[in-house]
């Protein structure tokens, strides 16, 4: 089921419906406070973009590749958390699903 999030940071305001991925580390009962890396370009994270994130949360577009590929690429680049924003407007949130081996993904998604 979709959950609701409202967050403010300075002049940036975020209101979103979200779901957690069925893979990656989910820190239930914990609060995460990470800087949010929001690239000026439309990042889909379908390849290793060469960024070094030093534990920042990374906001990327849903785009063309699989969610698990985005998670692995973000983790390799040092993301502490991956936030995938849908690239189309929907009435409900999409669950990030992965089949197969995902135990190597250790960041929250």
Query: Tens of pLDDT along 42-70?
Result: 678 888 767 788 888 888 888 888 989 98
Q: Can you spell out the DSSP letters for 15-82?
A: EEEE---SSS---TT------EE--SS----SS------TT-EEEEE--SS-HHHHHHHHHHTT-SEE
pLDDT, one tens digit per residue, over 4-42 is 566 565 666 666 666 778 778 877 777 667 777 766 556
Q: Is 0.85 topped by the overall pTM?
A: no
Determine the pLDDT at residue 105: 92
* Model confidence at 89: pLDDT above 70: yes
Look at residue 58 in the predicted model and tell me its pLDDT: 84
Q: Does pLDDT of 79 surpass 70?
A: yes
Q: Say which residues have a Cβ less than 8 Å from residue 14's Cβ, sequence separation at least 6.
A: 5, 6, 7, 8
């Amino acid at each position: 089921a979709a959950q609701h999030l409202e967050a403010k940071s300075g002049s940036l305001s975020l209101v979103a419906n979200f779901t957690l991925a069925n893979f990656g580390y989910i820190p239930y009962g914990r609060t995460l406070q990470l800087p949010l890396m929001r690239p000026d370009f439309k990042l889909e994270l379908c390849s290793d973009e060469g960024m070094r994130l030093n534990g920042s949360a990374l906001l990327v577009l849903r785009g063309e590749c699989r969610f698990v590929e985005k998670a692995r690429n973000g983790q390799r680049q040092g993301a502490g958390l991956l936030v995938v924003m849908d690239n189309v407007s929907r009435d409900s949130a999409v669950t990030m699903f992965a089949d197969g081996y995902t135990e190597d993904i250790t960041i929250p998604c």
